[in-house]
């Protein structure tokens, strides 16, 4: 299907004898937010990196109908923006300079930014509440601020597709929700298609339209969060028992139950219920 924003077929990535992604096929519709979930080492990052063409792979990846391997680095960078889990942040670089790096795919090899590029980045910094920090060095920012700066750089690419690898892994719960809400607003404003690896299943359920569950390099489930986040499916593929609970307002909460140690009730769960979705009563969602 050519109208998918991202489509991959028979995608396989091998590291020597290890198969990191095994014959994965799937697609992402324009404007959709798809979450990649699964245990550590399930292949989420490798799949995401393959979509950014950073990983040598077999099979095809199509971006807006065009085969990824047929595009130059520059053409690709105008279509796909990729944010790694731990972006390299030169401590001496300022927020403004870092954001301007995002304009690279729109500049000639030896060119420097035009006033138009600077205006675009200034606008992005304003949108992300970073204007006051434009001249600050990256080393002086907090984790939440850095995540916004990295987003600003990715958005400066003006690519319709945003690939985010664990965008919230370094943040506390409050900042995680803030960052994901920001991504959600931005994708609606700018008609972005988002594919992100997410390890927090509760947040994944809250924010994404669809989840791809990976296990041992294989895509084992593909569907709405409610369809994928079922206890038997997760128990089989996450390698640990989990409870999926539903809050009074219908949000899913995925928790790993505490092992019974001192005869505590089996329903005791370590739940981190955040903000407004905190529930008085939770019901099991099998």
Partner 1 sequence: MRARGPLLVASGFLLVAVLLGVSIGPVAISPQAVLSTLLSHLGLVHSKVSSVDQAIVWDIRLPRVVLGCIVGAMLAAGGAAYQGVFRNPLADPYLLGVAAGAGLGATLVIVAGHDASALLPVAAFVGAVGAVALTYLLGVSGDVRDSTRSIVLAGVAVAALLTAVQTYLQQQHTPQIAQVYNWLLGSLSLAAWSDVGRVLPYVVLSAVVLLAHRRVLDVLRVGEDEARSLGIHPARTRALVVGAATLGTAAAVSVSGLIGFVGIIVPHTVRLAARSSYRVVLPVSMVAGAAFLVLADLLARTVEAPAEVPIGVITALIGAPFFLFVLRARRTERGAP
Interface ranges with partner 1 (CB under 8 A): 49, 52-54, 72-78, 80-82, 84, 87-90, 92-94, 96-98, 101-102, 104-105, 107, 109-113, 157
Rounded Cα–Cα distance for residues 229 and 180 (Å):
19
List all residues 6 or more positions away from 109 whose beta carbon is below 8 Å from its beta carbon: none
CB of 105 to partner 1, least distance (A): 4
CB of 251 to partner 1, least distance (A): 33
CB of 144 to partner 1, least distance (A): 20
Residue 75 or 277 having the CB closest to partner 1:
75
Residue 105 or 160 having the CB closest to partner 1:
105
Residue 109 or 286 having the CB closest to partner 1:
109
> In the 3-class helix/strand/coil scheme, how is 224-279 assigned residue by residue?
CHHHHCCHHHHHHHHCCCCEEEECCCCCEEEECECCCCCCCCCCCECCCCCHHHCC
| SS3 at position 88 | coil
Closest CA to 66 of 7, 145, 128: 7
Residue 103 or 243 having the CB closest to partner 1:
103
Which residues lie across from 181 on neighbouring strands?
none
CB of 72 to partner 1, least distance (A): 8
Residue 73 or 260 having the CB closest to partner 1:
73
Do the beta carbons of residue 160 and residue 193 sit within 8 Å? yes
CB of 203 to partner 1, least distance (A): 24
CB of 128 to partner 1, least distance (A): 18
Closest CA to 44 of 223, 212, 255: 212
Residue 149 or 213 having the CB closest to partner 1:
149
74 vs 78, 190, 281, CA distance in Å? Answer: 6, 21, 51
């Amino acid at each position: 299907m050519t109208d998918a924003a991202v489509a991959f077929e028979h995608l396989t990535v091998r590291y020597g004898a290890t198969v990191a992604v095994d014959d994965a096929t799937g697609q992402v519709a324009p404007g959709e937010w798809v979450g990649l979930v699964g245990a550590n080492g399930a292949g989420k990052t490798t799949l995401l990196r393959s979509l950014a063409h950073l990983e040598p792979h077999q099979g095809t990846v199509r971006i807006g109908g065009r085969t990824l391997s047929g595009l130059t680095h520059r053409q690709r960078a105008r279509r796909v923006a990729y944010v790694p889990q731990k972006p390299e942040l030169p401590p001496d670089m300022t927020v403004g300079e870092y954001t301007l790096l995002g304009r690279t795919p729109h500049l000639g090899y030896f060119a420097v930014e035009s006033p138009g590029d600077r205006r675009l980045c200034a606008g992005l910094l304003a949108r992300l509440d970073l204007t006051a920090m434009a001249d600050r060095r990256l080393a002086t920012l907090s984790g939440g601020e850095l995540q916004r700066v990295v987003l600003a750089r990715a958005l400066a690419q003006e690519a319709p597709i945003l690939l985010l690898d664990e965008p919230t892994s370094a943040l506390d719960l409050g900042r995680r929700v803030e960052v994901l809400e920001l991504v959600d607003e931005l994708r609606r404003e700018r008609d972005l298609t988002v594919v992100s690896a997410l390890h927090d299943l509760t947040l994944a359920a809250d924010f994404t339209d669809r989840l791809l569950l990976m296990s041992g390099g294989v895509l084992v489930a593909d569907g709405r969060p409610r369809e994928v986040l079922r206890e038997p499916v997760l128990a089989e593929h996450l390698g640990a028992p989990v409870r999926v609970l539903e809050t009074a307002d219908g949000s899913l909460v995925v928790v790993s139950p505490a092992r019974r140690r001192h005869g505590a009730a089996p329903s005791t769960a370590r739940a981190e219920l955040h903000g407004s979705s905190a529930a008085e009563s939770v019901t099991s969602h099998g």
